[in-house]
Amino acid sequence: MKILMVSAEAVPYAKTGGLADMVSALALSLHRAGHDVRIVMPRYYAIDRSALRLLPEPMGVPVGSLGEQWTAVYATELPGSARANGGGLPVYFIDHEQSFGREGVYGSPAESDFHDNPARFSVLCNGAFQLCRKLGWFPDVIHAHDWSAALAPVLLKFVERRQGFGGTASVFTIHNLGYQGNYSKDYFPVLGLGWEHFFASGFEDWDRINFLKAGLCSADALTTVSPTYAAEIQSGEHGFRMDGVLRSRSGDLYGILNGVDTEIWNPAKDKRLARTYTARTLAAGKALNKRALQQRMGLPEDASVPLIGMVTRLTDQKGVAEVFAPTFGCAYRLCSQIALQFAVLGAGERWCQDEIRQLESKLPNFRAYLGYDDGLSHQIEAGSDFFLMPSRYEPCGLNQMYSLLYGTLPIVRRTGGLADTVQNYDDKTGGGTGFMFDYLSPQSVFDTVCWAVYAWSHRPDHIAHMRKRAMQQEFGWSVAAARYADVYEAALKKLTR
Ligand code: ADP
Ligand code: GLC
């Protein structure tokens, strides 16, 4: 099949969260299975043009009321995708200075959500169709990811099917229902749809525009990134006001658990670690990585206390208020009452960063790095004993899977992909791969961390077995990629019906 991925993010070019990992890893896996997969994304300011190939001729993109915009298209091949007979996976970058020639994917410190995002992502989505025309390559499936690419299936359904894309089906993947792309309807004309489509496309949401809703209403098939999340989002509690729309499309909605790119996340060959290790050399390997992490974070080098790690966007979705908020968050109590250490890597909301700085100044056993650091994220996964991820909701979550593969036991809330990937500890049999709680509160995070620390001190035999079991979990992409291929087939079948 010919598949075009449309996304605002893809590793190694632009990443704000797991979306970027997922898009590249899925594309690569489908490519390896023999499909003709290509990715299109913006050429952000931070993506170095000199490492890319410029395609001949500028490309005109109709951007609704903004008229035709002139763009350049750059291309490269996704690392690790070269086949023996040549032919790596092409990644195309749409270069439009006015839209993408600035720092930031969706926003910047000065403007958290760029006011012209409707126009920026209209350039991406309209540009995706122009790109296909330019290449003379018409995909069987356009696979759009999250609200920023949601316009693509809408344009396909209402405009492009009559303009050469009659055989193309669309699949829209929800990575996070919490981000919907809500803007004043004054921006509607830049999307390239007539006003007659304002309601029919699903864009209308309380007299504003909602990109995600339009994608949900218009795509031929919908997917999300875990089976539990697929069920949860059809309920009022997790549906972010979209539960009704999602229930109406439940027959077209598939929950497919993300995999892990084990070329990148593999403790046996991870060059960022002080020492690589396998399930057989786990005890010694983890001890060494723990010491290296303590050194790097400025924590006392002490093997006798458990080390709790966190790598997270500092945003409400991740349960950070329950951990770090002043007065009620549980981190202070945990660090001052229990013999443990805390290592945090995170970037995000200002209040949370400030609180983390406060905790650091008060607690010798709490250390944080505020910012984005890929190497450190691997070192925390390897050097911690436990990985805390108390998400309020979690569509899939990649970090808990990385933790498991690194023999670091996750402490998680039983929700979304966390519920699908972690098995709760059974203190009678020693079974399980992590520690879980249901109701999110500072007290339940506190209690569950204490439960894990208790097992660490009193049942080292259980912990050792759990770690081994965790490292043996299978999170390869091949199963998930095959399921996506099935969804593509199902979407294509709808076209011919
Ligand atoms: P989400 O996409 O909701 O943030 P995921 O668990 O799916 O959650 O993916 C998060 C990804 O981003 C992981 O690859 C994680 O290692 C990475 N990450 C998050 N915060 C940081 C940070 N501050 N530094 C480095 N990597 C980070
Ligand atoms: C989103 C979700 C996360 C998921 C990731 C990749 O960022 O918050 O749970 O793992 O997308 O699908």
Q: Whose CA is nearest to atom 22 of ligand 1?
A: 372
Query: DSSP for 214-237?
Result: HHHHH-SEEEES-HHHHHHTTSTT
Q: With H, G, I as helix, E, B as strand and everything else as coil, classify residue 205.
A: strand
**267 Cβ closer than 6 Å to some ligand 1 atom:** no
Say how far apart CA 489 and CA 486 lie, in whole Å. 5
Amino acid identity for residue 385 in this structure: D
Which residue, judged by its Cα, is nearest atom 5 of ligand 2?
18
Least Cα distance to 369 among 331, 399, 343, 332 occurs for 343
Whole-number Å distance between alpha carbons of 310 and 320: 10
- Rounded Cα distance between 125 and 141, Å, is 14
**What contacts 72, CB < 8 A, 6 or more positions away?**
43, 54, 55, 58, 59, 95
Asked if 246 contacts 217 with a C-beta cutoff of 8 angstroms, the reply is: no
**Residue 18 CB less than 6 A away from ligand 2:** yes
Atom in ligand 2 nearest the alpha carbon of residue 19: 6
State in Å: Cα 18 to ligand 1 middle.
6
**What is the pTM for the complete model shown?**
0.95
Asked if residues 468 and 279 have their Cβ atoms less than 8 Å apart, the reply is yes
Question: Looking at residue 408, what DSSP letter applies?
Answer: -
Amino acid sitting at position 111: E
Name the nearest CA neighbour of 345 among 321, 393, 381, 301.
381
Query: Got the DSSP string for 46-91?
Result: TS-GGGSEEPSS-EEEE-GGG-EEEEEEEEEE-TT---TTS---EE
Predicted confidence pLDDT, tens digits, the chain (497 residues): 999 999 999 999 999 999 999 999 999 999 999 999 999 999 999 999 999 999 999 999 999 999 999 999 999 999 999 987 778 999 999 999 999 999 999 999 889 899 999 999 999 999 999 999 999 999 999 999 999 999 999 999 999 999 999 999 999 999 999 999 999 999 999 999 999 999 999 999 999 999 999 999 999 999 999 999 999 999 999 999 999 999 999 999 999 999 998 988 999 999 999 999 999 999 999 999 999 999 999 999 999 999 999 999 999 999 999 999 998 999 999 999 999 999 999 999 999 999 999 999 999 999 999 999 999 999 999 999 999 999 999 999 999 999 999 999 999 999 999 999 999 999 999 999 999 999 999 999 999 999 999 999 999 999 999 999 999 999 989 999 999 999 999 999 998 86
> Among all chains, which residue has been given the structure tokens 């406060």?
358
Q: Which ligand is nearest to the CA of 398?
A: 1
Q: Which ligand lies nearest to the CA atom of residue 261 in the structure?
A: 1
Kindly give the number of the ligand 1 atom that is closest to the alpha carbon of 176: 3
Which residue type is seen at 334? L
Most ligand 2 atoms within 8 A of CB, residue of 7, 15, 16, 19 to mutate: 19
Overall size of the chain counted in residues: 497
The beta strands (E) that lie in 130-224 are given as 141-145, 169-174, 182-184, 204-205, 208-210, 221-224
Q: Are 437 and 414 in contact (CB under 8 A)?
A: yes
Domains of the chain with CATH codes = 2-259+477-495 (3.40.50.2000), 282-471 (3.40.50.2000)
Q: How far apart are the first and last CA of the chain?
A: 19
